[in-house]
Each structure stands twice: as C-alpha cells, then as structure tokens.
C-alpha cells in the first residue's frame, strides 16, 4: 500500500499526469512487489518560479518523488533499483529531450507497520490477521 507523492516543475497537461501515475504504479509493482490496487499516486505541479535549487531559479524540468512503504518489506537492492527506474521514468517523461535538474530527488521512506495503513487498519494489524487466519 505505498503512497507516492510527486512534485514537478514546470506545469504539465492532464494526460502527462495520467502517464506519470501509471508508470510509477507499474514500477512500484514490478520492482518493489507492491499491489497496484492499493498504490496511490499524488501529483502536484509547481510553477518553475516557485522552485529553487541552491538559491537560484530552476532552468530545467525538475522533480521530487517520495514513496512511503512499510519498513522491512524491501531489500536495499530493490529500493536502489526503484530509485534508478523512477528517476529514469521521470527523465523520459519530463525531460523533453533535456536532462532534469541534477537536484531532482527520489526518496524511499520506510514507516513502521504500526504507524500507517489503509481502510482504517494498520499494516501491522493486517499482518497479524494473516498470521492468525487458519490455512
């Protein structure tokens, strides 16, 4: 049940948002093994004038992607592969033939299973229910 929060500049059109959400959902499923049906992608665009790097205006497309996952559910190699694939996807979709700003970030945030969930139930409670269920 990952959540992905993507901030991008410059502004994009609605079809680009759908494409970004679809691509990020697929990468999350393929690399991190997360279920697409509970993967949420939120995209916020910012005018380039509101994004600064090193105190200066950005001159190229830029992105900040943060994914939240349950701690301990993925290996270091999987997280590294996700960061590389997500950055490449952002580069392809936002770069329009030019490189993204070097300070475009992809962050994997791990949260304890007790600290988040969906449908009113924590991930820890879901895990406990699977363990307790008769086979």
Q: Tell if the pTM clears 0.85, that is, is over it.
A: yes
Burial of 27 from C-beta contacts in 10 A (0-12 / 13-18 / 19+): buried
| Interval 29-42 mean pLDDT | 97
Peptide bond preceding 10 in cis form (omega within 30 of 0): yes
Q: pLDDT digit string (tens) for 46-89?
A: 988 899 999 999 989 999 999 999 999 999 999 999 999 999 99
Q: pLDDT digit string (tens) for 99-128?
A: 999 899 999 999 999 998 888 999 889 888
Fold of 3-132: Macrophage Migration Inhibitory Factor (3.30.429)
pLDDT on residue 13: 87
**In 73-109, which positions are buried (b, 16+ CB within 10 angstroms) versus exposed (e)?**
ebeeeebebbbebbbebbbebbeeeeebbeebebebe
């Amino acid at each position: 049940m990952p959540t992905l929060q993507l901030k991008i500049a410059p502004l994009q059109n609605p079809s680009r948002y759908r494409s970004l959400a679809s691509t990020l959902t697929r990468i999350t499923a393929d690399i991190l093994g997360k279920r697409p049906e509970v993967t949420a992608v939120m995209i916020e665009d910012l005018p380039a004038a509101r994004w600064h790097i090193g105190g200066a205006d950005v001159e190229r497309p830029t992105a900040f992607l943060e994914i939240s996952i349950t701690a301990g559910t993925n290996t270091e190699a999987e997280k590294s592969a996700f960061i590389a694939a997500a950055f490449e996807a952002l580069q392809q979709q936002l770069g329009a033939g030019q490189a993204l700003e070097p300070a475009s970030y992809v962050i994997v945030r791990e949260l304890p299973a007790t600290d988040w969930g969906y449908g009113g139930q924590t991930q820890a409670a879901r895990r406990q229910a699977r363990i307790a269920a008769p086979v």
